Amino acid sequence: MRYPFSVGRSDFIQGDEAIARAAILAGCRFYAGYPITPASEIFEAMALYMPLVDGVSIQMEDELGSIAAVIGASWTGAKAMTATSGPGFSLMMENLGYAVMTETPMVVVDVQRGGPSTGQPTLAAQGDVMQAIWGTHGDHSIIVLTPATVQEAFDMTIRAFNLAEKYRTPVVLLTDGEVGHMRERVNIPDPDEIERIYRKIPKSKEQGKYPFRDWDGDGVPPMPVFGRGYRAYITGLTHDERGKPKTVEAEIHESLIRRIVDKIEKNKKDIIDYETFDLDDADVAIVSYGIASRSAIRAVKILRKEGIKAGLLKLNVVWPFDFEMIERIAERVNRIYVAEMNLGQVYHLVKEGANGKAEVELIPKIGGEVHTPKDIIERVR
């Protein structure tokens, strides 16, 4: 397999570009998008690469169309992705729910910018966290990854595809304009060394007839591929295991939705990913993620030098959320600070997790600039 960029070596590229290359290396062969700052560079890279690797890159008429095309492509067996920013992400919400309900693997990248509305197109924010988790209507669960560096943007894109395929679910790669546009070194592995997961497909025609039956007991039904004789019928209406609309039967709705939620919530251990810095003996914990966590790391280093026992929990996945871990941390520390580029989103999750065992305080930041280490230090000191 020939790649349109160099592999097996490092390069100095933007986060957006890293996401595009990682997608291609993960096996993504369908991209549909609509231009929007600061995500357009992902689309532009895909437009350059896809035709060369016999994939598809297409510019749709809007973001509703982009995500719809991606879902359609996924049902033909393709790994597929779209990328956008706030306004487009808002437009995608209905079909994101469709992907949840129909258990369609796909990756949506949201390169966050300041909002609401058109907001600050060129500046970074982390204001879409709750939208990524809860933006589509109805009960559900979803996976949301938050890279903080260009290397993480690359690695988490590959992971996003693997999680999407493994759990037959949409995955949101929630990054921001700062990571999207910054350049850093990325180690692009040898393609043979990349772990790639592919969705389970039905083992028989009979299995294929039941696109929503949990044959293996892991909550993840094998997914038929259109055109291979399974004659699958897929609907966003509440459906039974056969796919037949069953819109008034409470038990059917409950068992479907519970399975869709459980396949993620019960696999939290596998999905959740985080890092800690100096947290073990800390008196104060800072919780942060994405670009803001980089300022938090610096803040911790400086605070430690000043003799303040600060530590950091850096979340790489903001949903599913490990409330129990937060409680364990809360039991050990006096106070938890949440540093994020919004007026409090993950803060509420942390507060719930802390369960009153420690004070939880928000270190917010809006306007487009990343927190400076000082912004954090002054609050903690």
Residue with tokens 């938090």: 296
Binding mask 5-44 for another protein (x = CB under 8 A): -----xxx----------------xx-x----xx------
Site string for another protein, 253-292 (x = CB under 8 A): --------------------------------------x-
DSSP state letter for 310: E
Query: CA nearest 317: which of 72, 171, 143, 61?
Result: 143
For 206, residues 6+ apart whose C-beta sits below 8 A from its C-beta are none
Site for another protein in 51-110 (CB under 8 A): 51-52, 54, 56, 58, 60-62, 64-66, 68-78, 80, 94-95, 98
User: How far apart are the C-alpha atoms of 57 and 380, rounded to whole Å?
Assistant: 47
Residue closer to another protein by CB (options 288, 342) is 288
Q: Write down the least CB distance from residue 301 to another protein, Å.
A: 7
Tell me how far apart the alpha carbons of residues 272 and 134 are, in angstroms, rounded to a whole number.
17
Nearer to another protein, 95 or 126 (CB): 95
x/- track of binding to another protein for residues 183-212 (CB under 8 A): xxx---------------------------
Going residue by residue from 309 to 348, which x/- string records binding to another protein, judged by CB under 8 A?
----------------------------------------
Q: How far apart are CA 337 and CA 300, in angstroms?
A: 12
Stretch that binds another protein, among 226-234, 266-274, 279-287, 348-356 (CB under 8 A): 226-234
CA distances from 36 to 136, 199, 336 (A): 21, 30, 36
Of the listed pieces 2-10, 162-170, 337-345, 346-354, which binds another protein according to CB under 8 A? 2-10
Place of tokens 């909002």: 115
Paired strand residues for 111: 175
By CB under 8 A, which span of 212-220, 321-329, 359-367, 369-377 interacts with another protein?
369-377
Report how far apart, in Å, the C-alpha atoms of 156 and of each of 69, 96, 210, 239 are. Answer: 23, 19, 31, 32
**How far is residue 166's CA from residue 220's CA, in Å, rounded to a whole number?**
8
Q: Any contact of residue 122 with another protein (CB under 8 A)?
A: yes
Q: Collapse the DSSP code of 171 into the 3-class scheme (helix H, G, I; strand E, B; otherwise coil) and give the result.
A: strand
Q: What is the DSSP letter of 342?
A: S
Q: By CB under 8 A, tell whether 308 contacts another protein.
A: no
Using CB under 8 A as the binding rule, whether residue 244 contacts another protein is answered as: yes
Query: Stretches 180-188, 319-327, 349-357, 358-366: which one binds another protein (CB under 8 A)?
Result: 180-188
